[in-house]
Amino acid sequence: MDEKTALELYTIFRHENSLWLANYREHSQQYFTLVITILAASIAAISQFDTLAPPLMLLVAVGPLVNLFLCQIAVSTCNRSYQVFLEGISIQAKLEPIIGLTDPRNPPTEYQPVLQFSKDEYFLPERWLQSRHFATATKFVEEGMKKGANRLITRTFQVLALINIAIFLGIVVYGLIRLLEDLFPPTMPGFYQ
């Protein structure tokens, strides 16, 4: 591949990668907003439990169940979006040597002024170059999926899923206790208090 074609591809993938990252952020925000809204509605319904009939309490348990499924879908969707983002980075990394971005910078001469960040040996940030120790793009993507923003988002949705499981179980147990109280009223005063 010639340098001009590589530069055109690099420019395209840099632009596409910014779109993929924006897509990742947008998906995670949308799912997070939806999950938090349903969680808030479930908590609001829980605060009204004393006025609800036991069958309605069990109906309120649908909210946390829906949230549990939404959290699983959110993790899958965000993982896929982040995977595409990392795959784009791996393509860029393959193009960078062809267009000369990984070559050492030329030291200043009398005809060329001192470049910005004169102590930097390369055009690319050193952190980018140091992260290129992977033998394959697949390995790079696998390792990248476990780090950074994706790890944070994944953990956030996992914690929200656990919170929803706890709320669901609490609703079911409380609803069953109230149902049993209605079916089998206490025979001794103060038995359930």
Q: Where are the domains of the chain?
A: 3-102+123-178
Contacts of 95 (CB under 8 A, 6+ apart): 6, 7, 9, 10, 13
pLDDT at residue 102 in the model: 80
- Tokens 């036991």 sit at which residue? 54
Report the distance separating Cα 159 and Cα 180, nearest Å.
Answer: 32
User: Which tokens go with 115?
Assistant: 């470049």
pLDDT at residue 29 in the model: 95
Asked if residue 25 lies in contact with residue 77, where contact means CB atoms within 8 angstroms, the answer is: no
Instruction: State the distance between the two ends of the chain, measured CA to CA, in whole angstroms.
Output: 80
pLDDT (tens place) for every residue of the chain, 193 residues total: 888 898 899 899 899 999 999 999 999 999 999 999 999 998 888 888 778 776 677 778 889 999 999 999 999 999 999 999 999 989 988 888 888 888 777 666 666 666 677 777 777 777 777 777 788 889 989 888 888 889 999 999 999 999 999 999 988 888 788 778 778 876 756 555 5
pLDDT at residue 37 in the model: 95
Write out the DSSP string of 95-156.
HTTTTTTTSBPPPP-SSSPPPSSTT-SBSS-HHHHHT---SSHHHHHHHHTTSHHHHHHHHH
